[in-house]
Structure 1
Amino acid sequence: MARHFYKYHGTGNDFILIDNTRGDFGDLSSKDIAAMCHRNFGIGADGLILLQNTDLADFEMVYFNSDGHPGSMCGNGGRCATHLAQQRSLVGERGTFLGPDGLHQFRINEDQISISMGDVTEVNTLENGLFVDTGSPHLICFVDALNTVNVMAQGRKLRDEFGPSGTNVNFVCQKDGQYSMRTYERGVEAETLSCGTGATAVAIALKEVYGLNQESITLETLGGKLTVSATKKDGHYVNVWLTGPVVFVFKGELF
């Protein structure tokens, strides 16, 4: 029996997606997943996502980093999973899915996919930046220019300062009212073209540092634009949504 996979990307953050609602892929090991995500010897991706059944939502998103190990919440991955779920007739234009960090709502408007993110209760100021948890941990470092940052070297160094599990590291630049960012992702252990939970963390940090009153902030990543909306209430950030485009790239079979 042919077992299909679907290649997607959300602003350049790319994933292998598998509809596992029939349980055909229960035998995938960490080694298998890492091999599939390898860009030279496999399909190539920043991560792999299984769509599975759950009684708690329309579907469950099970996320693995490209190293083959289970990952924390992935915002762009959640948006891609939502699009595939609709294409597979698992959901309509609105609904909920279960992610690694809990329940998320989604809204589909053609290729623009919005997902709700968890409330952010803390923005911690550290010596080397701000720390925000948006379902995945993120360090946010403000810089004068992104093209002078060695994201691999500096990102890896800062990532390791947070212990064995590490953190994701985002570098952010503000110029003429526009906000750009680059991200080093743990689990991938490299820079990715975009990071959804990172964009969410950066938007919250910008609101906190600059006191921005606008509800929505658009961030330019290497792979395109992501928009984050959030409302500050009683010192917390609530009604947090991540919006951006999703692209289906190709479909293939595993043997």
Structure 2
Amino acid sequence: MMIDFAKMQSTGNDFILVECKQDHSIQLSEMHIKKMCDRRFGIGADGLIITAREDVDRISMNYFNSDGKPAAVCGNGLRAAALFAKVMGMIKASASFFITAGDGDHEALFEDNGDIRVQIFLKSEVVQINEKIFNLSIPVESAAFADTGVPHLVLNVKNDLESVNVNQVGKMLRFHSYFEPEGTNVNFVRVFSPQKLYVRTYERGIEDETYSCGTGVVASAFSYWKSISDTPDIDILVKGGRLKVFKKNEKTFLSGPSAIVFSGHYFYEQ
């Protein structure tokens, strides 16, 4: 079988995008998705997104991590899906539209500077956690848990983030008993100024640090708003570039770039 795809990236968080058209369905197993996302034997990506046109102002997306397992939503994936839908003619780019994911309908809009704005939900109140229960090897000022469609632990780190072994500490916390049975994503945050954060994220399902995690930076922003400052706009630096999280009309948005890297055909056996 052959499938058309686009390889995309949103601040270094990379995805395989495919369109499910009305005349056929896409049958990809967990094994297929793992192979496609493999960086040595496949296309290579942090995740795979299946999109479909639902209406003139609505598309749907099903997101899968590189381990082949589904997740309710991916913040950077929403921006990639928005651009993919525009390029494929699935939606009109002149007005806001909606992307239906596993956690609800996300408003999306193309901004004048080329960035893509997507709405992110906070599924429950941010919970402050006593960081001492984790017996961490790094100095941490505070810890919090936020569910922005997927679970996130947010650690406010005292020292320079470049000295943190994100994979080592992140893997330990991702499987910590406190977060059983689902586990959690782990964000390491350094506050630069009242409106600027630096965030590094260890992602479950990818089991590695990624260059950027959209729901993770929004979880970090919610944690910052709850414990430090309620400034409505926050600029966030990640390994893959810069993002912005802001509040508008009682909604929370993630804004940043996305790009198509290449497109092609992938052959697989059913």
TM-score, normalised with respect to structure 1: 0.92
Q: Which runs of 5+ in 1 are unaligned?
A: 233-237
1:82 and 2:88 correspond: no
Residue of structure 1 in register with 2:102 after alignment: 100
1:209 and 2:227 correspond: yes
Equivalent position amino acid for 2:257 in 1: P
Aligned length: 249
- Post-superposition CA distance 1:179-204 (Å, at most 9, x none): 10100000001100000000111111
The match for 1:249 among 246, 258, 261 is 261
* Change in CA separation of 1:119 and 1:174 when aligned onto 2, cut-off 3 Å: closer
Counterpart contact for 2:53–2:90, Cα < 8 Å: no
Residue of structure 2 in register with 1:148 after alignment: 163
Q: Percent identity?
A: 40
Residue of structure 2 in register with 1:235 after alignment: none
Counterpart contact for 1:119–1:239, Cα < 8 Å: no
Secondary structure, counterpart of 1:111 in structure 2 = coil
Give, in whole Å, the separation in 2 of the partners of 1:171 and 1:104: 26
- Post-superposition CA distance 1:108-158 (Å, at most 9, x none): 136311011124540101122100111111000011210121101100111
1:158 and 2:144 correspond: no
The two structures, once aligned, show a CA RMSD in angstroms of 1.9
- Post-superposition CA distance 1:1-44 (Å, at most 9, x none): 85310000000000000011236452211000000001111110
Counterpart contact for 2:57–2:92, Cα < 8 Å: no
The match for 1:188 among 206, 213, 217 is 206
TM-score, normalised with respect to structure 2: 0.87
Counterpart contact for 1:37–1:46, Cα < 8 Å: yes
Which 10-residue stretch deviates more, 244-253 or 86-95?
A: 86-95
Give, in whole Å, the separation in 2 of the partners of 1:151 and 1:189: 11
Counterpart contact for 2:122–2:147, Cα < 8 Å: no
Give, in whole Å, the separation in 2 of the partners of 1:191 and 1:23: 38
Q: Which runs of 5+ in 2 are unaligned?
A: 132-142
Equivalent position amino acid for 2:163 in 1: T
Secondary structure, counterpart of 1:104 in structure 2 = strand
Equivalent position amino acid for 1:157 in 2: M
